[in-house]
Amino acid sequence: MESHRRTGAGAEVNHGASLVEQEEGAPRASSPAAAGVKEHIETVLAWLFGGIFIALALVVTVETISRKVFNVSLQGADELGGYALAVGSTIAFSLALMGRNHIRVDVFHGMFPPRAQAFLNWISIVSMAAFGAFVAWVATKVVADTLEYGSTAQTPWATPLIWPQSVWYAGLVIFALVATGYALRATLLLARGRIATLNTDFHPKSAKEELKEELDDLASRQAAEGVKP
C-alpha cells in the first residue's frame, strides 16, 4: 500500500514536471488563426511580386516587338524595369523574413547550448527590426524631399518620382512593421523563458528543412496536376 502511494505520488510529480517542462521549454505550435493570417499575407505579397515582374516582362516583349517590326519605341521599358526592381525588392524583404530565407552565417550556431542559441536568434531578429526601422526612416526623408522639390525622372516620360517612390516606401514600411512584429514576439518568448519555441521559430533554416519544403511543394504540385509521386 505504501509503495503504491509512493509510486502514485512520484507519477504525479513526474507528470507535473513534464507539464512545466512542456510549458516552459517545449515548442508550441502557432495557433491556426495566426498561421492562416501569416499564410494569407505571404500569398498576397507573392502574387503582387509575381504580378509586377510578369507585367514588366509583357512591357519588354511589346517594346522588343515594336522596335523590330514597327521601328517604334515606348522609350520607357528600362525606366519601368528600375521601378519594378525597387518595388519588388521591398516586397521580397518581407517574404524572405516571413519564410526565414534571409542568409545567416550559422557555422557555429548549432554548437552553442539552447539558451545561447535563443539569445543569438533574438539578437538576429531585433537587429533586423532595427535595420528595417532605420531604412523606413531614411526613405521617409527621401519621399519628403521628392514632395518638396516636385522631382521628376530624367527620362522621356518625365515621371513624377513621388508615384514609384510611394509604392517603394510602402514596401519598406511593411517590411519594418513585419520585422518589428517578429522582434516583439521573440522578445516576449525570451522574457517568458520559452527557449525551445524561440529557437524553433527563429533559428536559421537548415538544409533538411529546405529539402522538406521543396519536397512538400513538389508533392502539392503533382497532386494538383493529378500526377502520382
- What is the arithmetic mean of pLDDT over 192-209? 86
- Residue 17 is classified by DSSP as H
- What is the arithmetic mean of pLDDT over 105-119? 87
pTM of the complete model beyond 0.85: no
Length of the chain: 229
pLDDT, tens digit (0-9, with 9 covering 90-100), for 162-171: 999 999 999 9
pLDDT confidence bin for 3, thresholds 50/70/90: very low
pLDDT, tens digit (0-9, with 9 covering 90-100), for 46-66: 899 999 999 999 999 999 999
- What is the arithmetic mean of pLDDT over 216-220? 80
Nearest to 194 by CA among 122, 89, 94, 109: 122
Domain ranges across the chain = 33-225
Share above pLDDT 90 across residues of the chain, in percent, rounded to a whole number = 50
What gap in Å lies between CA 75 and CA 80, rounded to an integer? Answer: 10
Give the least confident one: 42-51, 81-90, 103-112, 195-204. Answer: 103-112
What gap in Å lies between CA 201 and CA 181, rounded to an integer? Answer: 13
114 versus 29: which is more confidently predicted? Answer: 114
Q: Would you say residue 176 has pLDDT above 90? A: yes
Q: Tell me the pLDDT of the chain averaged across its residues.
A: 82
pLDDT confidence bin for 92, thresholds 50/70/90: very high
pLDDT value at position 30? 56
Distances (CA, A) of 7 to 16, 19, 53: 14, 18, 67
Distances (CA, A) of 168 to 19, 78, 84, 136, 160: 48, 17, 9, 10, 14
Q: By three-state DSSP, how is residue 201 classified?
A: helix
160 versus 12: which is more confidently predicted? Answer: 160
pLDDT value at position 31? 62
